[in-house]
Amino acid sequence: MNIFKLKENNTTIRTEITAGTTTFMAMLYIIPVNASILSASGMPYDALITATIVMTIFASILNGFYSNTPIAMSVGMGLNAYFSFGLVKGMGIPWQTALGVVFISGILYLIISMTPVRRWLIETIPLDVKRAVSAGIGAFIAFIGLEQTKIIVDSPATLVTLGDLQNPQVLLALFGLILAILFTVKKYKGALMLSILFTTLLAWFTGIAEFPKEIFSMPASISPIAFELDIISALSLSMLPVILIFLITDMFDTLGTLAGVGMRANLFNEKKSIPLQKTIEADSFATMVSGIVGVTSTTSFIESAAGVEEGGRTGLTAVVTGLLFILPLFLLPFFKAIPSNAIYPILIVIGLMMFSELKNIDYENQAIKFSTFFIVMGMPLTYSITNGLLLGALVYLLVNIFSGKVRDTSPAMIILAIVGLVIFFVL
């Protein structure tokens, strides 16, 4: 175990195993949630269950050995919803082309993570814009959760309205939402997975959902989605903003997670910059592989903080987490029997967590204030993370021009604004 330098990091094998198990429990929810979201694009659910688990195992173990940090990885929330509901359903893009976008963004991310461009991108996009994007994605996926559970439904008069709260399916979703909020507030380990489990049990025993005839089976094949990506179709000008969205979102999602978890455990500082760099490189490589396997971008999971709180300090924690994800490979019938209204409330809670980034934004800055509104509102109302970000960039540049502060506008925001002009008014 010297490869993990346990003694140098003041930890033990037992502590690392406990930490890895804790992270595993906190991350379990991603399996049914991600499969359910991506299957809305027309991809087969069974294959998605296996692919999600395979990428979690691969990315977490890769990071554990390569960077020796306790950061587990899996398919990121937000971009998976954008993939299904924004690209495939919203823009009519085939899921094979969308996977090509994931692959290309992964290649760019890997290149950027190993060059000075990474630092330039990180530093030139204002911090508050990154926060607004996070909040906007939170609003977007929460809206999707509300829509898919029928808590919110479409209306010819007002576009959207409150659904039938007496419908058993809607009541089930509300029950799941309340449990998810309760368990999260109480800081229970594996809070989101626990809410899915209890809501599913209620559905089974009340007859709302069918009880599974079996629990265990051999893993489903990923052949229907693996290597099905269409890179050629993704290499078009119209796909450029979409590729940028995947690139920027994955990059800053990872950096935000690493900053939060790393600060808590003192994992990354000037003396430990190499583990940070290697974690980013592992994440970017895994994202590239995820497009090949058949899922959306992987990212460092904030649930790794649960393992860090248990004392996890090395890559052994991430490796243990990855190895434990082998077990759910044989639980396909169980995951298939989970009703969707036990799953989608999780999107609402995760969206709420991401939305809280708004509290840190400097609203005294006029450009930030106006662009934040268009970013956050634009994403759910246009059903597109791309549109929200580009609208925000245009408004950011416009306000700075009006204020005589055009020289204060970051180069990255100017580039995004130009892309927005081309996409909205030329193409």
Q: pLDDT exceeding 70 applies to what percent of the chain?
A: 93
185: in domain? no
Name the pLDDT band for 376 (thresholds 50, 70, 90).
very high
Asked if 330 and 379 sit in the same domain, the reply is: no
The pLDDT value recorded for residue 294 is: 97
Provide mean pLDDT across the span 10-36: 92
Q: Is residue 330 part of a domain?
A: yes
Whether 226 and 85 share a structural domain: yes
Look at residue 197 and tell me if it is in a domain: no
Question: Both 236 and 311 in a single domain?
Answer: yes
pLDDT tens sequence across 149-159: 999 999 999 99
Does 259 share its domain with 376? Answer: no
Tell me the C-alpha to C-alpha distance, in Å, between residue 252 and each of 79, 257, 299, 389, 419.
12, 8, 10, 14, 20
Contact assessment for residue 77 and residue 141, using Cβ atoms and an 8 Å cutoff? yes
**What are the tokens at 13?**
């094998």
Mean pLDDT of 68-86: 91
Residues 378 and 325 in one domain: no
Domain that holds residue 57: 2-133+217-334
321 and 389 part of one domain: no
Please give the pLDDT value at position 309: 77
Residue 53 lies in a domain: yes
Which DSSP letter does residue 75 get?
E
pLDDT tier for residue 427 given thresholds of 50, 70 and 90: low
pLDDT of 267 reads 65
Q: What is the pLDDT of residue 306?
A: 80
Q: Can you read off the two tokens belonging to residue 59?
A: 């990315």
Q: What number is the average pLDDT over the span 401-415?
A: 87
pLDDT band with cut points at 50, 70 and 90 for residue 130: confident
Query: Does residue 243 or residue 123 have the better pLDDT?
Result: 243
pLDDT tens-digit series, residues 303-343: 887 888 788 999 999 999 999 999 999 999 999 999 999 99
Q: Residue 121's pLDDT is what?
A: 64
Q: Could you tell me what percent of the chain has a pLDDT over 90?
A: 60
User: Which one is predicted more confidently, 427 or 398?
Assistant: 398
Report the mean per-residue pLDDT for the chain. Answer: 89
Please give the residue that has the higher pLDDT: either 412 or 272: 412
pLDDT band at 350 (very low <50, low <70, confident <90, very high): confident
Residues 319 and 379 in one domain: no
* Together in a domain, 28 and 117: yes
Q: How many domains in the chain? A: 2
The answer, yes or no, to whether residue 163 has pLDDT greater than 70, is yes
Q: How far apart are CA 367 and CA 405, in angstroms?
A: 9
DSSP class per residue in 28-45: TTHHHHHHHHHHTTT--H
Residues 112-123: pLDDT tens digits? 888 877 667 666
Is position 110 within any domain?
yes
**Assigned domain for 141 exists:** no
Find out whether 176 and 196 touch, Cβ atoms under 8 Å.
yes
pLDDT tens digits for range 266-307? 665 555 556 778 888 999 999 999 999 999 999 888 788 788
pTM of the model: 0.81
In Å, how far are 92, 287, 299, 325 from 59, measured between CA atoms?
30, 9, 9, 11
Domain assignment present for residue 166? The answer is no
Judge if 305 and 404 occupy the same domain: no
- In this prediction, residue 43 has a pLDDT band, given cuts at 50, 70 and 90, of very high
Residue 415 located in a structural domain: yes
Considering Cα of 5, then 9, then 10, then 11, what sign does the dihedral take? negative
